[in-house]
Amino acid sequence: MHLDSLDFFIELKDIVDDRPDNSENIFFIDVENIDATDSVKSLNIRQLCSIESAALANPKLNIFVIFITLQKSKLTLRVTKHLIALLSTYSNIKFVMLNYNEFVINTPIEEFIMSGKLRKSKYFYEHTSDVYRLLLLWKYGGTYLDTDVIVMRSLKHLGTNYACAVSSKTVSNSILNFDLNYGYRLVENVMQEQIRHFNISLGSYNGPGVFKRILRKLCRTKNVSKMVRMETCHGFHVKSSKLCLPIPPEDSDYIFNKTFTKELLKIISNSITVHVYNAITWINDVKINEKSLYVALALRYCPAVFRTVDNDF
């Protein structure tokens, strides 16, 4: 009998009871169906691969995988053979829950959340992630990663207080770091900008758009390439896409091509992370015996999860 067919669950602690500290944290957030009545949560193989890659490359950091919920009752996490492989290999991964309303009490966004404006968003899940990733970094410090980012090297190479450029016009919020000193003050300013100009109808306006607006003021330029060349904007850093987002979203299909080229390996050779854009690439079938870039990355950077995959990623 396969473990996937067993009813085996882990009860999730609340993050406030397992408090992160010292900015030595990596946060992943799952917001899927946060308004559902079902208390059982799960993660797919690609998400688990990204989580493992972060744990493997950063063994001294605490990896928090956070499920945001509107429920007051406890959540449980469905255990699969892939998850068992992860938990039996790494001791620095913690799966926790976060209560949507209770977590914001006595924070800069309490009034905004209680007003119900976020709940009215046409992009409720995406905007919830945009808002709460900042709040987590404001409270605890550390690094936020999307659950489709594969980490290839220690995040220490990126330093502190940074976001990553996507192009000469855009800064991403898929990878963020703020410490509890300078970063604490800056992330509060970012949150204030976010809630002051919150738009319920525009998808990226409250996420990457916030950083673009803040950094234009901080760096005194609208050109993201100039922000990267400046190295620091009053203590904050806009990292080159070559370091953390080497493959842009419009080229994401190349990650899943059945054969990958030396050119692709060269593109990512000096990068710390690779974003694989699950939101737009989930339709790409991945066979573990195919020579795609994604399979090569998974084999090397999430080996425990990879070993449990029967055929398809």
Instruction: Give tens-digit pLDDT for 229-287.
Output: 998 898 999 999 999 999 999 998 889 888 777 788 889 999 999 999 988 777 777 88
Residue 91's Cβ-side half-sphere holds a number of Cα atoms within 13 Å equal to 1
What is the rounded distance in angstroms from the CA atom of residue 68 to the CA atom of residue 79? 18
Kindly state the average pLDDT of the residues 284-308. Answer: 89
Question: Given pLDDT bands bounded at 50, 70 and 90, which one contains residue 158?
Answer: very high
Kindly state the average pLDDT of the residues 118-128. Answer: 94
pLDDT of residue 5: 44
Which phi and psi (to 5°) does residue 31 adopt? -115, 5
Hey, what domains does the chain have and what are their CATH numbers? Answer: 3-308 (3.90.550)
pLDDT of residue 7: 62
Question: Given pLDDT bands bounded at 50, 70 and 90, which one contains residue 162?
Answer: very high
For residue 93, pLDDT over 70 is answered with yes
pLDDT of residue 3: 45
For residue 4, pLDDT over 60 is answered with no
For residue 91, pLDDT over 70 is answered with yes
Q: Which two tokens stand for residue 9?
A: 């669950």
Residue 210 DSSP SS3: helix
- DSSP codes joined into one string, 233-292: BTTBEEE-HHHH--S-GGGGGGGG-SB--HHHHHHHTT-SEEE--HHHHTTS--BTTSB-
Of the listed ranges 94-103, 154-163, 212-221, the one predicted with least confidence: 212-221
For residue 6, pLDDT over 70 is answered with no
Kindly state the average pLDDT of the residues 164-172. Answer: 90
Greater confidence (36 vs 292) lies with 292
